[in-house]
Amino acid sequence: MAQWLTIIGIGEDGYEGLGQNARDALRAAGTIFGGKRHLDFLPVEFGAKRVAWPTPFSEAYTMLLALRGNAVVVLASGDPMHFGMGATLTRYVSPEEMLVLPSPSSFSLAAAAMGWPIQDTQLLSVHGRPLETLLKSFVPHAKLLILSNDGETPAHVARLLIEAGFTSARLTVLEHLGGKNQQRIDGVAQSWDKLRCADLNILAVDCGEPDQFALSYPLLTGLPDEAYQHDGQLTKRDVRAVTLAHLAPLPGELLWDVGAGCGSVGIEWMRSHPTCKAIAIEADEKRQSLIIHNSKTLGVPDLELVRGAAPAVLARLNSPDAIFIGGGVTDAGVLEACWLALKPGGKLVANAVTIQSEMALVNWRQVHGGDLIKLIVSHAQPLGSFDSWRSALPVTIYNVRKQA
C-alpha cells in the first residue's frame, strides 16, 4: 500500500517551525489527528478535518486505521519515533505506509540547554510509566534527562532521590522548550520546594555524589542479599550470579521465574536491559507481596506477577525465551509444562538443593541432555579467636537449551 499516513513532529514554535514537506502534507491531508494544543498551532484556513485525541486514548487507533488509504496526518511532539506516537503506531502500520517528519526532540533541546552530550546522558521517560523505573538509573555522577508525566513529576523525583540517598542531586526543570514560554528552574533534591511546574517539561538530573548509605546498585547480576526483602526463600547472591550467567539474558527476551520466592532472579533479569521482560510465578501470598515490593524498590515495577502454582497457571502465559525453576522441580508436571512452553532455542535453568530435586534433574538430563554443575559456596566466619570456612548447602544447577 502507498504511503497514506504522515506523522509530523511539531515543537513549541508551532507551524512556523515546520519545514516545507510537513506544510505540504498538512495542506494535502483530509484528516489531521493530534492533541488540542498541537491542532491549535495550525492556520485556521486549513480545510482538513481536525480530530483531537479521544478519551480513552485506545480508541484513537481504531479511528485512525478506519481511514487507511486516505491522506491522514498525525501531529506529535518533537521526534515521534522517540518515546512518541510514531513509535506506538509502528505496531499497527507498516513502515511502507507511513512517512515520518521529525522535529528536534525534547531530549535534543534539553541536552543543548544543559550542555550535556547526548551520548553520555541517559534518556528516560515516566510519561505514563511508573516513577520507580528511575531507581535503577540513580547511580553516582549519572546525568539523566527525564520526560515528565506532568507538572508534579519533578517534586516526585526529588523525593525519590532523597529516599535513595541522593540528597545533593541537582535538578533542572526545562519548561516549554523551544517556545516563547521556555523557562528554566534549578534546585537541589533535599531543598526542592517547587510542588508543581508546567505540565510540559523535561527534568534534568545530575545525580552527583551520593550519601554514604545511598541505595545504588550495579546493573550486573549478583546484587547483595540485603537489597531484597525476603522470608528466607532467596536465591543467594553467589548462586544467583551463576544462575543468571547460565540464563544469559539478551535484549527483548522474556523469562519465566517459576517459584519466584522474593523475585530476585526475575528482577535482575529485567535490570540487565530495559527491554528484558519477566513473569514471576508464585503461589504464596506473602511472597507475592515481597515480589511487588522488591520489583519497585529495585527499579523494575513492570515485572509481571502471576499469582498461582505451576503448572496450572502456565498455560495462559506468553511463550518464554528462558525459564528458571527455583522451586517446584519435584512437583508433578512442572518440568514437562515448562519444557513444552519454552520456545525452540530457549534456555531452561533449574536449581536443586534436596536429593529428590537433584535426582529429578539428573533423570531429566538423561532424556533431554544439558549440563549439571554443583556449586558449593563457603564463607569465612569466626571460630573462637580464629576464622573458619562455613559452607552453605550445595546447589545443583542444571541448564539446557531446547533444540529448534
Per-residue pLDDT of 119-157, as tens digits, reads: 999 999 999 899 999 999 999 999 999 999 999 999 999
**Owner of C-alpha cell 541448564:** 399
My answer on whether 138 and 89 are in the same domain is no
Cell of 38: 498541537
Does 200 share its domain with 235? Answer: no
Say if residue 237 is in the same domain as residue 326. yes
Q: By the 8 A CB rule, do 244 and 269 touch?
A: yes
Task: For residue 70, count CB atoms less than 10 angstroms from its CB and return exposed for 0-12, middle for 13-18, buried for 19 or more.
Answer: exposed
- Shared domain for 119 and 172, answered yes or no, is yes
| CATH for 278 | 3.40.50.150
CB under 8 Å to 114, separation ≥6 — which residues?
Answer: 143, 145, 172, 174, 204
Domain residue limits at 267: 225-401
Is 371 in the same domain as 264? Answer: yes
What is the number of other CB atoms lying within 10 angstroms of the CB of residue 202? 26
**Is the preceding peptide bond at 56 cis, omega within 30 degrees of 0?**
yes
Number of structural domains the chain divides into: 3
Q: pTM for this one?
A: 0.89
* Bridge partners, residue 74, by sequence: 7, 33
> Does residue 212 lie within any of the structural domains?
no
Residue 1: per-residue pLDDT:
66
Distance CA 26, CA 298 (A): 45
pLDDT at 303: 98
Please give the average per-residue pLDDT across 342-362, as a whole number: 97
Residue 185 is assigned to a structural domain of this protein = yes
Residues 39 and 134 in one domain: no
∠ Cα 229 231 232 (to 5°): 105
Which residue type occupies 188? V
The grid coordinates of residue 115 equal 550542555
pLDDT digits (tens, 9 = 90+) for 220-266: 999 999 999 999 889 999 999 999 999 999 999 999 999 999 999 99
